A = this chain, B = another copy of it.
Amino acid sequence: MSLHHPLRLGMVGGGKGAMIGGVHRIAARLDNAFTLVAGALSSTPARNAESAAEAGIAPERTYDDFTEMARAEAARPDGIEAVAICTPNHLHFPAAKAFLQAGIHVICDKPMTSTLADARDLARVAEASEALFVLTHNYSAYPQLRLAREMVARGDLGKLRLVQVEYAQDWLAEPSDSKQAEWRGDPARAGAGGAIGDIGTHAFQLARFVSAELPSHLLADLTSFVPGRAVDDNAQVLLRYASGAKGSLWCSQVAPGTENGLKLRIYGEKAGLEWSHVEPETLLFTPLGEPRRTLRRGATSMAGSRVPPGHPEGYLEGFANIYAEAAAAIRAHQRGEEAPTLLPGIRDGIEGLCFIEGCIRSARAGNTWINLAEVAQNG
């Protein structure tokens, strides 16, 4: 895709036993956009060394500490140009801060931080830094969801009325002591949100991305179905928009038989759109009174595509789109240019933390409406 050599990438977190770190590494190299050359992958030295070796990182660029890594890499002439942050949530903030302040571009997993206060602080750090900050809300980089956004924007649906989004999983339907489950259930590391933080923020961001509307209010009912769980594993959320549209968001990690069931339906006065992660290359367009149309990836444009329709692309390719676009943005920045981009960033991160905070306030207040603008102002 490019005449350039890949950018030099570092990684924080994502060592042995992690799930999302491997995804970031594949996404980074899939389009040859980045090459991984430095890392602080695990929190214990022995495990860190082992993880780095497996990832092909040289010992001299394997760091036990991300602060040291930021300093050392910034000082090298061949230092990393960007860093991927894949730690548990509570470390996103200090790690991102360290690299941004060192002038190194950051590609960070979601939610952006574990608290809204940290999110605000990070926003200030990012503002003060020359470096770019990208948040991996990867679903918004799927070609058919980009197309959905365009269709909404150009009025194919008419004035929006309804936004129905859901994200259902079943991997936490029973108590689990997997590494993945363990930190996600610990408010000190994951933040106060359980399902709402882990997958609810994806659903919220996606609905907001496609509709281009941020809800003004929400009302949430949070539940922890599994005994002993310290955070929510299910949430029913009602949404209201300043435009008069209404919405609902359901996220669950206890729905047996669902896998990674993100689904978005948007209805306007003139038409509807429907997308499901089960068949991510298909966008259904349903103009009122006309036959349903199946819009397939790559059929009209190859943007965000590597192979023609009928050759299924999916999660890793969507994630790689984030990395490919991040590389393009970084190169533009290196040339002193500023290019328009649809990449999620600080604003999405703040909004995500406001969503989490809003849900928790609503639940605590007995499921009342919370004004999200007020949460944003006094979070």
Contacts and interface: CB of A to CB of B under 8 A. Distances in A.
Interface of A: 2-3, 5-6, 19, 22-23, 25-26, 29-32, 53-54, 56, 157, 161-162, 164, 169-171, 173-174, 219, 221, 223, 225, 234, 236, 238, 240, 246, 248, 250, 252, 254-261, 265, 267-272, 274, 277-280, 284-289, 291-296, 299, 306-317, 366-369
A264 to B, nearest CB: 13
A281 to B, nearest CB: 8
Contact of A29 (B29, B219, B223): B29
B291 A285 contact: yes
A246 B258 contact: no
Contacts of A292: 257, 293-294, 296
A155 to B, nearest CB: 14
B236 A248 contact: yes
Number of copies: 4
A271 B256 contact: yes
A30 B32 contact: no
Contacts of A309: 259-260
Given A22-B306, A315-B313, A288 B256 contact: yes
Contact of A5 (B56, B260, B261, B313): B56
B234 A236 contact: no
20 contacts: A19-B307, A19-B308, A22-B306, A161-B254, A170-B288, A236-B248, A256-B270, A256-B287, A257-B287, A258-B272, A259-B296, A259-B309, A261-B310, A279-B279, A289-B299, A291-B293, A293-B294, A306-B316, A316-B317, A366-B369
B258 A26 contact: no
A295 to B, nearest CB: 5
8 residue pairs, one from A and one from B, having the closest CB atoms: A257-B286, A259-B310, A312-B314, A260-B310, A311-B315, A292-B294, A256-B288, A291-B293
Contacts of A219: 219, 221, 367
B286 A291 contact: no
A289 B278 CA distance: 18
A254 B260 CA distance: 28
Contacts of A32: 25, 29, 56
A357 B350 CA distance: 39
Contacts of A285: 291
A314 B308 CA distance: 12
Given A254-B162, A260-B311, A314-B313, A288 B26 contact: no
